[in-house]
Structure 1
Amino acid sequence: MADQDIVHEGGCRCGQVRIRVTGAPLMTMACHCTGCQRMTSSAFSLSALYPSDRFEVGQGEPVIGGLHGPTRHFFCPHCMSWLFTRPEGLDEFVNVRATMMDDTKSFSPFIESYTSEALPWAKTPALHSFETDPSDERFMELVTEFARQSAHPRL
């Protein structure tokens, strides 16, 4: 099966909202910022970045939560599970919470951001770490590296 044919489905904890992504993600990430810590009630958030045209809400109607700002965080209106984010000014992308997918094993973080805010014991297997966010130029290099590595995974 080619990467573009891969379908991952997932949903909120109560099952009222279901989501689907097609193909391989552009990048997988862990974010250690205090905002993600608070919204996940955990040490970091795990996400997978997809082009918007490869993402769909298959059931239910998510609501905006979090800070209600230009970056929109979407939640199940019933159980309040954080499902995905539409980053500010980047409507062509959606950042899916990888832990909301039915099969989470293939979403190991490739990069981690905001390590400057990380809890001292919170460790990930990410290959690249950044004290805040990587620059736009560096991010595009990482997307290319992630695609190359995904095509030839380590044994």
Structure 2
Amino acid sequence: MSKLNLPLEGGCRCGQVRLKISAPPILTMACHCTGCQKMSASAYSLSAAIPADAFAVIDGEPVIGGLHGATRHYFCPHCKSWMFTRPEGMDWFVNLRPTMLDDASWFSPFIETFTSEKLPWATTAAVHSYETFPPMEAYEGLLQEFAEQAVR
């Protein structure tokens, strides 16, 4: 990964919703689940877990889309870009779609999840792969390993 020059700003495809991050991610991911495939219209979705206090919507008003469940998926109300997710019960971070940032050249997925549902040809540069999500006891080590290798 290349150097991360913070703060970084970004926005949806049409530019009506803008956001800003002021801290590096605590983990980066690619998810191969069929839900992410459908929501991203791609082989997988990309995420950068950003500390919640380092994430801000600075212009516009994103709307909730996707499944409209306890985990909230936020989209631009105009162009419908899937911008970020606030996972249920994990208020301390926001899962940002890193390609919403004006410069995503630093991004590389550190883990990939739901490889049990991946398309046969889909590959990533992830260091760790999981058939579903990593077991809860693995996260501490993953976060520490990512922090040691992370962009700054």
| TM-score normalised by the chain length of structure 2 | 0.94
Superposed counterparts of 1:116-131, under 5 Å: 116-131=116-131
Q: Structure 1: where are the runs of 5+ without partners?
A: none
Quick check: 2:111–2:127 contact (8 Å CA) kept in 1? yes
| TM-score normalised by the chain length of structure 1 | 0.92
Runs of 4+ more than 3 Å apart: none
2:20 counterpart SS class: strand
The answer for the alignment partner of 2:96 in structure 1 is: 96
Greater relative CO, 1 or 2 (CA 8 Å, sep 6+): 2
Whether 1:82 and 2:82 are equivalent positions in the alignment is yes
The answer for the alignment partner of 1:18 in structure 2 is: 18
What is the root-mean-square deviation of aligned Cα atoms in Å?
A: 1.6
- Percent identical across equivalent pairs? 62
List per-residue Cα deviations over 1:63-98 (Å, max 9, x = no partner): 000000010000000000000000011112100001
Shift of 1:51: 1.1
The answer for the alignment partner of 1:113 in structure 2 is: 113
Report the AA paired with residue 33 of structure 1: C
1:148 counterpart SS class: helix
For 1:99 and 1:5, locate their aligned partners in 2 and report how far apart those are by CA, in whole Å. 15
For 1:5 and 1:123, locate their aligned partners in 2 and report how far apart those are by CA, in whole Å. 27
Stretch deviating more after TM superposition (67-76 or 98-107): 98-107
Whether 1:55 and 2:52 are equivalent positions in the alignment is no
The number of residues matched between the two structures is: 150
2:15 counterpart SS class: coil
Q: Structure 2: where are the runs of 5+ without partners?
A: none
